Chain A
Amino acid sequence: MSPPPPTFDFDGQAIPFRPGQSVGAALLAAGIRSWRTTRVGGRPRGMFCGIGVCFDCLVIVDGQPNQRACLVPARAETDVRRQEGSGHGNLS
């Protein structure tokens, strides 16, 4: 029997990933399609281009907002959070 896959934390939920997989790919594989809201209308957003170009899949990684989920490699110690708007609401 093979060991269980590694996981990272997404707002308290353990998300399994394969080594080399991006955070965004792992979220999609776990059935999660949206992980941020737009700044103006609060609309849901997730993966769109999947290749680092469109900046639609922004997410908070280890406390840093505006990280592209499609580019950030998943690691067991990664802390991933949903992003509301600019992700910098705590600054004002």
Chain B
Amino acid sequence: MCHIAPVPAAPDVVVIGAGVVGAACAWHAARAGLRVTVVDRGPVASGTTGAGEGNILVSDKPAGPELELALLSARLWSDLAAELGGFEHHDKGGLVVAASESAHQNLLDTGLGQQAAGVTATPVAPDDLPGYEPHLAGDLAGGMYYPQDAQVQPMLAAARMLADARGHGGAELRTGVQVTGLLRDGERVVGVDTTSGSIPAAAVVNAAGTWGGQVAELAGVHLPVLPRRGFVLVTEPVPVLVRHKVYAAEYVSDVASADAGLHTSPVVEGTDAGPILIGSSRERVGFDRSMPAEILRTLAAAAVRLFPVLARVNVIRAYRGFRPYCPDHLPVIGPDPRAPGLWHACGHEGAGVCLAAATGHVIAASLAGRSTEVDLVPFRPERFG
């Protein structure tokens, strides 16, 4: 007796990458009625999605195209949480605090620009900070509260979107399958070659995150996506000590820096399960997976500076990840005119979870030939020359 496997119909779209961005692209594309196959060389959320904190932030983005995308994304994440749920979405709000008067002034100036762009930003006087965070250090110069900031558990979010796209949208998920090349018809990209055979498709979406530049290379096009390493400390579970996402005003300038050297600024937030997550560090050291104790110590000390109570809480583990970094700190989103049939949805740096929902939304619209809700020109793949 022999088994004859049914030959699956060719998908309309192959999405490369089962991280949160690929999952969102697949979910929205399936919603738009497209047949989708998602491939990833590892398991779901095995890259940068599984190495972050799950932030949906408008607070750390000055007015501009990325903020516009983040505002759309924050709305879409709320909608998705109501419709799908199961990924610990919290409208917890963000609290940015300044230790010095000059940092406080920068915070207020940034807030003005953000308010003009549609962000709700409320200045918080030093005396009012304990009302937001009772355990915060008592000697801060002031803060800014951002109610639109939210948090998700990113691995759950990716898994939930993929499961839903499979269940209701008929999408297919193939993990442990590595893309080794792109199928071409003339200059058109018409599918992928993989370690498990070829998959023809009308369109291919590069959602390979920090490895997006390597996928682009398979198409013979250049995308300067570089890894920017970051560490997260995980504490033992504690009662609710930190209510919002709390971070120092210096974080915003660290994010925007082009320097390859080490930058750290404290970012502290609680989780549903009890542990507190502590970031953040940024440095360009390639894909070096070592964990220098010095950096972990710096992060812990900075968190204790913001929340002295944490001196009595143990860190139980730490993890590291590689943010997909582009020189202009903007993601790469949209069709690539240099390789028709290839779309990019990568290079989101530390904002991949935040921007995933909007990225999936605009990619699905673009694939379907509809106009997108935000202008994709600032994110165009060919902008690097």
**Chain A residues engaging chain B, CB cutoff 8 angstroms:** 39, 65-66, 85-86, 88-89, 91-92
Residue of A nearest to B235 (CB): A88
Q: Which residues of A contact B237 (CB under 8 A)?
A: 39, 86, 88
Is the Cβ of B240 less than 8 Å from the Cβ of A88?
A: no
How far, in angstroms, from A44 to B240 measured CA to CA in the complex?
A: 22
Is the Cβ of A91 less than 8 Å from the Cβ of B241?
A: yes
A59 to chain B, nearest CB (A): 13
The digit string for B236-253, where 1 denotes a CB below 8 A from any CB of A, is 111111000000000000
The answer to the question of B258 belonging to the interface, with a C-beta cut-off of 8 Å to chain A, is no
Q: Which residues of B contact A89 (CB under 8 A)?
A: 239
The answer to the question of B312 belonging to the interface, with a C-beta cut-off of 8 Å to chain A, is yes
The answer to the question of B198 belonging to the interface, with a C-beta cut-off of 8 Å to chain A, is no
The answer to the question of B100 belonging to the interface, with a C-beta cut-off of 8 Å to chain A, is no
Residue of A nearest to B312 (CB): A91
- Please report the number of residue pairs spanning A and B whose Cβ atoms sit closer than 8 angstroms: 28
Is the Cβ of B239 less than 8 Å from the Cβ of A86?
A: yes
Interface class of chain A by DSSP: loop
Is the Cβ of A91 less than 8 Å from the Cβ of B236?
A: no
Is the Cβ of B239 less than 8 Å from the Cβ of A91?
A: yes
Residue of A nearest to B239 (CB): A92
The digit string for B300-332, where 1 denotes a CB below 8 A from any CB of A, is 000000000100111000000000000000000
How far, in angstroms, from A86 to B316 measured CA to CA in the complex?
A: 13
How far, in angstroms, from A66 to B236 measured CA to CA in the complex?
A: 8
Chain B interface size, under 10 / 10 to 19 / 20 to 34 / 35 or more = 10 to 19
A44 to chain B, nearest CB (A): 18
Given pairs A65-B236, A86-B236, A91-B239, 10 additional interface contacts (CB within 8 A):
A66-B236, A86-B238, A86-B274, A88-B239, A88-B312, A89-B239, A92-B238, A92-B239, A92-B240, A92-B241
Q: Which residues of B contact A65 (CB under 8 A)?
A: 236
A41 to chain B, nearest CB (A): 14
Q: Which residues of A contact B241 (CB under 8 A)?
A: 91-92
Q: Which of A39, A85, A89, A91 has the most chain B CB atoms inside 10 A of its CB?
A: A91
Residue of A nearest to B238 (CB): A88
Residue of A nearest to B237 (CB): A86
Is the Cβ of A91 less than 8 Å from the Cβ of B314?
A: no
Is the Cβ of A91 less than 8 Å from the Cβ of B274?
A: no
Residue of B nearest to A86 (CB): B237
Residue of A nearest to B236 (CB): A66
Residue of A nearest to B313 (CB): A88
Is the Cβ of A66 less than 8 Å from the Cβ of B239?
A: no
Q: Which residues of A contact B236 (CB under 8 A)?
A: 65-66, 86, 88
Is the Cβ of B313 less than 8 Å from the Cβ of A39?
A: no
A23 to chain B, nearest CB (A): 18
Q: Which residues of B contact A86 (CB under 8 A)?
A: 236-239, 274
How far, in angstroms, from A89 to B236 measured CA to CA in the complex?
A: 13
Q: Which residues of A contact B312 (CB under 8 A)?
A: 88, 91
Q: Which residues of B contact A66 (CB under 8 A)?
A: 236, 314
How far, in angstroms, from A64 to B37 measured CA to CA in the complex?
A: 50
How far, in angstroms, from A88 to B309 measured CA to CA in the complex?
A: 11
If A66-B314, A88-B313, A91-B309 touch, does A39 touch B240 (CB 8 Å cutoff)? Answer: no
How far, in angstroms, from A88 to B241 measured CA to CA in the complex?
A: 10
How far, in angstroms, from A39 to B241 measured CA to CA in the complex?
A: 15
